[in-house]
Amino acid sequence: MVLISVVIVNYNGLKFLDDCIKSYLDQDLNKKHYEIILVDNASTDGSVEFIKNKFQNIAVIELEKNYGYAGGANKGAERARGRYVVISNVDVKVPRNFLSAVISEFRKDPNLAVIGVMTSEDFLEKSLHSIWGTYVKNACDDSDKLFGLGCVLAYNREKMGLPFFEEYFMYHEDVSIYLRAKLLGYTTKALKKPLIWHAGGGIASLERSKLRVYYLNRNRLLNMLIFYSTKTLLKIMPVILLMTVFSPIYIILSYPRSQWFLKEYFKAYLWIILNIRGIIKRRTEVQKHRKFNDDQVLRYFTCKIAADSNTLNKLVEAYTRLLKIPCYERSLKN
């Protein structure tokens, strides 16, 4: 019986495939208890041919176009047979006891819905997602406070259904499943051990950088607009508006040749405006099923904006204290 399904999402990740798949094949779990599904987002680097020639026992889903990480993960999850599903980047290697550790965690906590991982990159142990949608290094003292990272995550299929909203395409979709699980009343966990090796960034290129800027900015706004309560949105909106205005000014002053960055930045905001009806529909659906208030979520988030902006961080911390917005600094940390 298949207990856990591994869905590896690939797009032109040929150079990572061999190590990634071998690490999943080399698990200490009996092979009849897990399956590996590779979802290929219309790669052009020979990934599918490589898999078919070298790993004939791996199920391959060849997509006719690039559905992004979110869409590809959903396509694989639809085919999964396990009660638990692991969604994995291709640029990772997992230890032999990884799947066993994931199953063990789910069995220990019947309310556990999503597990994120920790990686061998030291600084990530002290990083936190922020209320404002950014990611802040050195923001916490204890990695038990983290949601966990999304390069590999596992979820209970019976509790969460499909993992992601496909409009996210890539980036911050991992944050969305944590937020959704928390608001539904489930627990989430960062798997402190075993540590995962993650190359990070995958294939570096200017085009990839453009996509990163676009989707990171767009999807951090999506997460706030979809998952935060109206009360929270009204409280944080002044800071969000200030960030919207001053971020491009900072970029212009710091990086004079960053026209491409500004273009992608404003494209992200334009997408939000043009798709506001769909966002409201998605928000209505999420808010209708929520069982917890925002306090249960925001206490895991830092109120800081950036690790290297002490003055700015002090200002926004004072603002959140004044408006009684919950955050890590005034809840779990104390």
What was the pLDDT predicted at 71? 96
Query: Residue 98 pLDDT more than 80?
Result: yes
Q: Is the pLDDT of residue 140 over 60?
A: yes
pLDDT of residue 276: 96
* 201-253 pLDDT, tens digit each: 554 455 667 888 899 999 999 999 999 999 999 998 888 888 887 777 777 77
- In angstroms, rounded to a whole number, what is the distance separating the alpha carbons of residues 201 and 163? 22
- What is the CA 166 to chain-centroid distance, rounded? 13
Query: Which of 49-53, 57-61, 86-90, 139-143 bottoms out in mean pLDDT, i.e. has the lowest?
Result: 139-143
Question: Using CA atoms, how far apart are residues 217 and 272, in angstroms rounded to an integer?
Answer: 10
DSSP character string of 281-303: HHHHHHHHH--S-THHHHTTSBS
Question: Is it true that the peptide bond before 194 is cis, omega within 30 degrees of 0?
Answer: yes
CA distances from 200 to 76, 93, 150, 286, 318 (A): 22, 12, 11, 31, 34
How far apart are alpha carbons 38 and 211 in whole angstroms? Answer: 23
pLDDT grade, residue 297 (50/70/90)? confident
pLDDT averaged over every residue in the chain:
87
User: Which region among 104-113, 279-288, 310-319 has the lowest average model confidence (pLDDT)?
Assistant: 310-319
Contacts of 243 (CB under 8 A, 6+ apart): 132, 305
3-class SS of residue 320: helix
Domains of the chain: 4-198 (3.90.550.10), 206-330 (no CATH)
Residue by residue, DSSP assigns 27-65 as: -SS-GGGEEEEEEE-S-SSSHHHHHHHH-TTSEEEE-SS
CB 99 within 8 A of CB 6: yes
Q: What residues pair up with 84 in beta bridges, in sequence order?
A: 4, 156
CA angle 158, 38, 73 (to 5 degrees): 45
Q: Predicted confidence band at 139 (pLDDT cuts at 50, 70, 90)? A: low
Provide the pLDDT for residue 204.
46
Q: What is the largest CA-CA distance in the chain?
A: 61
pLDDT of 300 above 90: no
Mean pLDDT of 169-179: 91
Q: Is the pLDDT of residue 144 over 70?
A: no
- State residue 49's pLDDT score: 93
CA gap 1, 157 in Å, rounded: 16
Residue carrying structure tokens 């570096």: 204
Q: What is the pLDDT of residues 36-82, one digit of tens each?
A: 999 999 999 999 999 999 998 899 999 999 999 999 999 999 999 99
